[in-house]
């Protein structure tokens, strides 16, 4: 069976194709809006998604060699995300659903990050470290849902790093700029963790106060090491609490090689397997929506609540598949 997936939660418009019979991603086309130094402007993002949709759809169909009429269902990212962007994806998905007469599958964006990483790593029951721009959560499967064991109490890890990149006027002015500049000496910064919950606003404020006193390299290195250490500590606490033997990291910030390294070291010390997908599938993409849509559809677990939900939580979604 063939599934089309549409991702539009933030600055990426992605369309992917998944073949559930062969268990293979056939296409993963996308176009990202260049945020520059201005960050996320909802209206601009939505305009971008509308403008490039036809081009990205054509690319996905060409790559997959699947005709629009041959799809069994159309999946789309329901939330969480930016309302303007989510509605572009919803309207496009509904239009394709009505055009083809194929059912519509709403997919939780966070769950899709988890499922695509489980798909590639083959890890069945991991502690999940989900780190992206707006989301930072420590998660584990319990029964028919993913339970959030800990999360950020304020900023997402990616937003913290993006804000720091813009504050320091890095190139690029975001988390990638911070990663590229993180080559200095460690300085003392606020370390805020409560149980398995973390907080980044105090860390960001301290960095802003120090920006005229220490080098950018020292500040980037120390901000990364401190924030990542908090994530690793929370993950290790979850491992011990649940006695699990697998760890995965997913979401956009999972592309950071230093975070991967720190989690891998911790996993090895605890005799656990560690997994992470390729960067292409850690960043927002349509393939993860198509894949997760296939799981929901074939498990007869499609949500009856269509539309969009900007604040939809990971733990609000029923999971009926293995």
Quick one: tokens of 36? Answer: 């520059």
Q: What are phi and psi of 162, to 5 degrees?
A: -65, -45
Residue 34: per-residue pLDDT: 87
Which CATH code of 3.30.420.40, 3.40.50.10860, 1.50.10.100, 3.40.50.300 fits the domain covering 2-113+281-316?
3.30.420.40
Domains 2-113+281-316 and 123-279 share a fold: yes
Q: How far apart are CA 23 and CA 296, in angstroms?
A: 14
- Domain edges within the chain: 2-113+281-316, 123-279
Burial class (CB in 10 A: 0-12, 13-18, 19+), 106: buried
Residue 36: per-residue pLDDT: 74
Which CATH code of 3.30.420.40, 3.40.50.720, 3.40.50.2000, 1.20.120.160 fits the domain covering 123-279?
3.30.420.40
Sign of CA dihedral 88, 156, 203, 269: negative
Residue 39: per-residue pLDDT: 76
Check residue 251 and report its DSSP letter.
S
Cα 165 to chain centroid, rounded: 19
Contact 286, 7 (CB under 8 A): yes
> CB-hemisphere CA count at 13 Å for 17?
23
Pairs from 276-279 (Cβ < 8 Å, separation ≥ 24):
276/117, 276/121, 276/248, 276/249, 276/250, 277/116, 277/117, 277/119, 277/120, 277/121, 277/250, 278/120, 279/255
Q: What are phi and psi of 251, to 5 degrees?
A: 100, 170
DSSP helix/strand/coil, 320: coil
Residue 120: per-residue pLDDT: 98
- Where do the H-state alpha helices sit in the chain? 42-64, 83-100, 109-121, 157-167, 175-181, 201-210, 216-242, 257-269, 279-282, 286-298
Residue 174: per-residue pLDDT: 94
Contact 258, 224 (CB under 8 A): yes
Strands 104-108 and 127-131: unpaired
Residue ranges, the chain, pLDDT below 70:
none
- Where do the H-state alpha helices sit in 215-306? 216-242, 257-269, 279-282, 286-298
Residue 300: per-residue pLDDT: 96
| Total-model pTM | 0.96
């Amino acid at each position: 069976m063939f599934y089309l997936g549409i991702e539009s939660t933030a600055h990426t418009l992605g369309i992917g194709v998944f073949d559930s019979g062969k268990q293979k991603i056939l296409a993963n086309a996308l176009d990202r809006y260049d945020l520059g130094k201005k960050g996320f402007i909802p209206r601009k993002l939505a305009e971008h998604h509308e403008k490039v949709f036809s081009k990205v759809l054509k690319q996905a169909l060409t790559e997959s060699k699947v005709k629009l009429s041959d799809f069994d269902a159309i999946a789309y990212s329901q939330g969480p995300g930016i309302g303007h962007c989510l509605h572009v994806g919803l309207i496009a998905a509904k239009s394709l659903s009505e055009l083809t007469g194929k059912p519509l599958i709403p997919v939780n964006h966070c769950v899709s990050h988890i499922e695509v990483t489980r798909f590639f790593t083959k890890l069945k029951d991991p502690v999940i470290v989900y780190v992206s721009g707006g989301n930072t959560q420590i998660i584990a499967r319990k029964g028919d849902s993913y339970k959030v064991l800990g999360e950020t109490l304020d900023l997402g890890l990616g937003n913290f790093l993006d804000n720091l990149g813009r504050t320091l006027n890095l190139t690029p002015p975001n988390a990638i700029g911070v990663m590229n500049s993180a080559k200095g000496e460690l300085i003392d910064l606020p370390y805020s963790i409560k149980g398995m919950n973390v907080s980044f606003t105090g860390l960001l404020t301290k960095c802003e106060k120090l920006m005229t006193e220490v080098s950018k390299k020292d500040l980037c290195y120390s901000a990364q090491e401190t924030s990542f250490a908090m994530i690793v500590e929370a993950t290790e606490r979850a491992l011990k609490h649940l006695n699990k033997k697998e760890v995965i990291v997913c979401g956009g910030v999972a592309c950071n090689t230093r975070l991967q390294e720190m989690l891998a070291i911790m996993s090895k010390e605890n005799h656990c397997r560690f997994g992470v997908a390729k960067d292409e599938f850690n960043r927002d993409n349509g393939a993860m929506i198509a894949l997760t849509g296939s799981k929901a559809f074939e498990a007869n677990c499609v949500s009856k609540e269509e539309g969009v939900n900007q604040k939809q939580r990971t733990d609000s979604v029923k999971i009926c598949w293995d």
